[in-house]
Chain A
Amino acid sequence: DTAVSQTPKYLVTQMGNDKSIKCEQNLGHDTMYWYKQDSKKFLKIMFSYNNKELIINETVPNRFSPKSPDKAHLNLHINSLELGDSAVYFCASSQTGELFFGEGSRLTVL
Chain B
Amino acid sequence: GENVEQHPSTLSVQEGDSAVIKCTYSDSASNYFPWYKQELGKGPQLIIDIRSNVGEKKDQRIAVTLNKTAKHFSLHITETQPEDSAVYFCAAGGTSYGKLTFGQGTILTVHP
Which B residues contact A (CB, under 8 angstroms)?
32, 34, 36, 38, 41-46, 49, 87, 89, 94, 96-102, 104-105, 107
- Chain A residue numbers with a CB within 8 Å of B41 are 103-104
Query: Measured between alpha carbons, how far is A98 from B50 in the docked complex, in Å?
Result: 11
- Contact (A90, B87) CB under 8 Å given A42-B105, A98-B49: no
- Contact (A102, B43) CB under 8 Å given A41-B104, A42-B102, A43-B102: yes
- Chain A residue numbers with a CB within 8 Å of B97 are 31, 48, 50, 55-56
Q: Given contacts A45-B101, A92-B43, A99-B46, could you give 8 more A-B pairs where the C-beta distance is less than 8 Å?
A: A31-B98, A43-B89, A44-B102, A48-B97, A56-B97, A97-B32, A97-B94, A99-B44
Q: Mark A64-94, 1 if CB is under 8 A from B, else 0.
A: 0000000000000000000000000010101
CB distance from B99 to the nearest CB of A (A): 6
Contact of B43 among A40, A45, A101 (CB under 8 A): A101
- Chain A residue numbers with a CB within 8 Å of B49 are 97-98
Are B100 and A45 interface neighbours, CB within 8 A? yes
Are B32 and A41 interface neighbours, CB within 8 A? no
Closest 9 CB pairs of A and B: A101-B43, A43-B102, A41-B105, A94-B98, A55-B97, A101-B44, A98-B46, A103-B43, A97-B32
- Chain A residue numbers with a CB within 8 Å of B36 are 99
Contact of B98 among A40, A44, A97 (CB under 8 A): A97
CB distance from A27 to the nearest CB of B (A): 13
- Chain A residue numbers with a CB within 8 Å of B38 are 41
Contact of B99 among A41, A48, A100 (CB under 8 A): A48
Residue of B nearest to A40 (CB): B104
